[in-house]
Amino acid sequence: MHTTSEPSMSIGIINVDKPTDITSMDVVRKIRKASGLRRIGHGGTLDPRATGVIPVAVGAATRLLEYLLDGNKSYIATIKLGTRTNTYDSEGIVTEYCDPSEITQENITDALSNFQGEIMQTPPMYSAIKIKGKRLYELARNGVIVHREPRKVSIHNLSFIEFEPPVLKIIIECGKGFYVRTFADDLGQILGCGAFLKSLRRLSSGPFRIEQSTKLNKVLLAFEEGRSFEILQEPGICIEEAQRLDLTELETQLVQDGRRISALADKNPHEDSGMARAYSPDGHLVAVMRHDFASSEWRPEKVFN
């Protein structure tokens, strides 16, 4: 039986391969139950039918999740042409049919040219965005459709994989806030035949890759058998692009007390570096630091005791 106390060493990030037909919060609940730990959180929602990478933070590492939410993501999207649904995916009610037999790969390639760099995208009604305290999907389920302001999103790359009419597969590399379901619907409108997202698999989220992920059932088993150390990654991976600072014992104590340290000598910030991961002499993450260019100091932003 698990205790309700949280062991001091239970901190880190798990790269979970989410299965289909459960929510991202279901993943959190299952890990919370298997581990007996309270402080569990995920770093980016996946729709229930979607699979793939979902970073899960354990213990104090949950304080680093905000950095993951801003990270880039990549997906393999399977899109079916000729049908449009109210949810833009296979879960919804069909709203339009159209014969897509005349759509060619060249047509698709031309249509994809509309999705490059920064574009404006309108969030779907069936999403977790809140308007006046209500989630959009709650309103949609009650038959209420509200105006959604288009948002600026970024597409870094679109890679065409295959087209076996009426289904195509595309790899999408994008920034935060991008809805692949909306992309599928928008693509169908440009092609003039309608489309919906048939399936979705997240290949990466920030530094986490599907190749290094662990199936959820194996994550749960590792906790139940006391082998969580095999799947827990060092929490600083959440901001691996940030500069690394190796602190002395004195600097470690100062930072843990919320004090600033000098950014000179061996801790001079890299060019354009505004953030750093600070580690104690024994290799544990002590803090996330921000560089104060005016005083040439590093100030603690988040401290881990």
* Residues with a known catalytic role: 47
Report how far residue 184's alpha carbon sits from residue 169's, in angstroms, rounded to the nearest whole number. 11
Report how far residue 139's alpha carbon sits from residue 234's, in angstroms, rounded to the nearest whole number. 40
How many alpha carbons fall within 13 Å on the CB side of residue 285? 28
Which tokens is 211 given?
């190749």
The strand ranges marked E within the chain are 12-18, 40-42, 51-58, 73-81, 83-85, 94-97, 117-121, 130-131, 134-135, 151-164, 167-174, 195-205, 208-209, 214-215, 243-246, 261-262, 275-279, 285-292, 297-303
Burial 89-108 (b: 16+ CB within 10 A, else e): beebeeeeebebeebeeebb
- Amino acid in the structure at residue 10: S
